[in-house]
Structure 1
Amino acid sequence: MRHFLWLIDYTKDEIKEIIDLGFQIKKETKARVFKPYLKNWQLAMIFEKSSTRTRVSFEAGINQLGGNGIFLSSRDIQLGRGEPLKDTARVISRMVDMVMIRTFGQERLEEFAKYSKVPVINGLTDLCHPVQLLADLMTMIEFERFDFENPQKTTVAYVGDGNNMAHSWAIMAGLLGFNLRIATPEGYEIDDFIKEKALEFAKISGAKIEFLHNPALAVKDADVVTTDTWVSMGQEDEKEKRIKDFQGFKVTSELMALSNNAIFLHCLPAYRGYEVSEEVFEAHAQEIFQEAENRLHAQKGLMVWLGKQQKN
């Protein structure tokens, strides 16, 4: 049985299989063909951390695959009233076929998976956001900014906080072999363990991964520019300090002009005037909202892929 807890557990070939499935199912969806790949499967969706895109994409996705989504917040189940996580995992996984969890700590996700009898998907933790990277990768391919056969032709620039999105980009680059420059303010660099793993993978894939403090150097001749909010959920008390510390890291038209006619990606929600200007956001709205839609299709590909592993 396979879980999808973070990208470190996956190979380049496995990621390609998931992405290819996502494209196949997206094509069918656009033609209004809904094949029951997961007929009568039950997906438990546990939200300790709220979300718009994760909720809608997983629930619509499992429904379109012939299954059913069960929404569970920490207010609705014993998990929020002190029941040990391992007991919740033992109970829920005996009643459903797959579980998606969106939570704060990676360790909570991993503990749940340890005791689960069914595949567990990471819908986001503070450490990483792997399902978002599947959608981002699909979008890069659609806009002809990435090719599995020639990954080193692609350079991605990430500008902003060294958070779960930066971590996910680092691991994906290391695994697939595209070049990545991560520019963060001093004191907001990515986790050392993630950095080490990304560079370890890069030695094999041929990726060139750089960690910088200068957005202009990161964006220079990049094919893809991406960012994320400066103030994630749970960091509201740090808002004023973060806004001050991140001055100079807003993605503006002047910064984008340094790129190689790059597409711009944002996992949303976006706060115009902070991490990205209104002008850049609206100029690249097609890419951003296609990326958001691809959460649905990439996650359907992932669920079907995990379902196949379960059946095997």
Structure 2
Amino acid sequence: MAYNLRNRNFLKLLDFTPKEIQFLLDMSKELKAAKYAGTEQKKLVGKNIALIFEKASTRTRCAFEVAAFDQGAQVSYIGPSGSQIGHKESMKDTARVLGRMYDGIEYRGFGQEIVEELGAHAGVPVWNGLTDEFHPTQILADFLTMLEHGKGKQLHQIKFAYLGDARNNMGNSLMVGAAKMGMDIRLVAPKAFWPEQSLVDECLTIAQTTGATITLTEDVQAGVNDCDFLYTDVWVSMGESAEAWEERIALMKPYQVNMAMIEATGNKNVKFMHCLPAFHDDQTTIGKEIADKYGLNALRSPMMCLSLNIQSFLMKLRTACILLKRSW
């Protein structure tokens, strides 16, 4: 069944019904198949898209650019230091100007209220590439990955645990997505790092309709038991100070994904996912700094963590493509 998403913003999964989300996932799967078969049709020839990045990115930027090019659209990249947004020009004014020049706008930056304001005044579709509160395109990519590697299970049959800092945009978004799609999600983290109670309550209300199971716990053993996927993210998010590392590492060490945790799932087919970037060695500037201060054990997690990351990126590329395509 087709759904009319014409001119719809994609700002957070809370704005979409489970059937609309499933429709996006199904279309993304079809686009991926067409891409690999060499049969993808360019539906966006003559369209122009603005990519606003107030926070730097590798995968999200590449996903939107390649998806746009694959569909025949042109892009303009507006980086962290490449505009007057928030300095000499308000987001409201920026939205009105760019909305007259472009057919769609992607935004990656800070507060959710910023992308909401952009979406309210642009007059063209706006897509959230990440805010402090939500990262909806990543969730669609992750759910597609779970479907492809979940041994034939549908989303409502999948159990997964998110470990670490569950109050960030990934913890929030995975919880919302799981609630919408009837999944069994366990947020395994110190209580101080659980999502805001208001969002938890909203997701629990959604779960009453969809049949989702939402568990918040500090108990690692109980949280990971019988999971199909273990998911984690960095322990200090973009914008947080380096001084936060020492305290954060001490708090999060029990929630580090390692072989003991994987074995504790009791599922020999369990998969490990990470949205990246991941500090698993000392071969990056930040990774080396952490290793020098706190030792390599603060970085290490099983290398199998990389096994699904590229798949997730490819899914994000297809997801970006479907968002662009379905907006017009």
Is TM-score (shorter-chain normalized) higher than 0.5? yes
Instruction: Map residues 1-312 of structure 1 onto 2, 5 A cutoff.
Output: 1-144=7-150, 147-148=153-154, 151-162=155-166, 163-236=168-241, 237-259=243-265, 260=267, 261-272=269-280, 277-278=300-301, 280=302, 282-307=303-328
Segment of structure 1 superposing worse, 288-297 or 202-211: 288-297
SS in 1 for 2:186: strand
Instruction: Tell me which stretches of 4 or more aligned residues in structure 1 moved more than 6 Å.
Output: none
Q: CA deviation at 1:80?
A: 4.8
What letter corresponds to residue 277 of structure 1 in structure 2? R
* Structure 2 gaps, min length 5: 1-6, 281-295
Give the distance between the partners of 1:276 and 1:42, measured in 2 at CA.
41
Letter in 2 for 1:302: L
Tell me the alpha carbon deviations over residues 226-245 of structure 1, each in whole angstroms, 9 at most, x when there is no partner: 01000111112312221122
C-alpha distance in structure 1 between counterparts of 2:298 and 2:132, whole Å: 19
Tell me which moved more, 78-87 or 50-59: 78-87
| Residues 180-224 of structure 1 deviation map (CA, whole Å, 9 limit, x = unaligned) | 110111311111222111111100001111000122211111011
Residue 275 of structure 1 and its aligned partner are, at CA, apart by: 7.9
CA contact (8 A) 2:34 2:40 kept: yes
Q: Which amino acid aligns with 1:265?
A: M
Deviation at 1:34, TM superposition (A): 3.5
Q: For the Cα contact (< 8 Å) 1:49–1:104, is it kept in 2?
A: yes
Whole-angstrom distance in 1 between the partners of 2:156 and 2:29: 22
| Alignment partners' CA distance in 2, 1:79 and 1:304 | 27
Q: Which amino acid aligns with 1:294?
A: M
Q: Report the equivalent of 1:310.
A: none
Deviation of 1:50 after TM superposition, in Å, equals 0.6
Q: Please state whether the residue corresponding to 1:123 is helix, strand or coil.
A: strand
Post-superposition shift, 1:276? 6.9
Distance in 2 (CA, whole Å) between partners of 1:182 and 1:285 is 21
Partner amino acid, structure 2, of 1:73: G
| Rounded Cα–Cα distance in structure 2 between residues aligned with 1:187 and 1:100 | 32
Q: Using the alignment, how far apart are the partners of 1:147 and 1:3 within structure 2?
A: 30
Q: Report if the CA contact (8 A) 2:52-2:79 is conserved.
A: yes
Q: TM-score, normalised by structure 2?
A: 0.88
SS of 2:234's partner is coil
Distance (whole Å) between structure 2 residues aligned to residue 215 and residue 277 of structure 1: 18
Percent identical across equivalent pairs?
A: 34
Opposite residue 48 of structure 2, the aligned amino acid is Q
For the residues of structure 2 that align with 1:212 and 1:284, how far apart are their CA atoms?
A: 23
Whole-Å Cα distance in 1 between the matches of residues 297 and 30 of structure 2? 37
Q: What is the identity, as a one-letter code, of the residue corresponding to 2:163? A: V
The answer to whether the 8 Å contact 2:150/2:158 transfers is no
3-state SS of paired residue (1:100) = strand
The answer to whether the Cα contact below 8 Å between 2:249 and 2:298 also exists between their aligned partners in 1 is no
The count of aligned residue pairs is: 303
Name the aligned partner's letter for residue 173 of structure 2.
Answer: S
Contact 2:150 2:228 (8 Å CA) reproduced: no
Which amino acid is 2:146 matched to? M
Aligned letter for 1:99? I
C-alpha distance in structure 2 between counterparts of 1:62 and 1:116, whole Å:
19
What is the root-mean-square deviation in Å for CA atoms of aligned residues?
Answer: 1.6
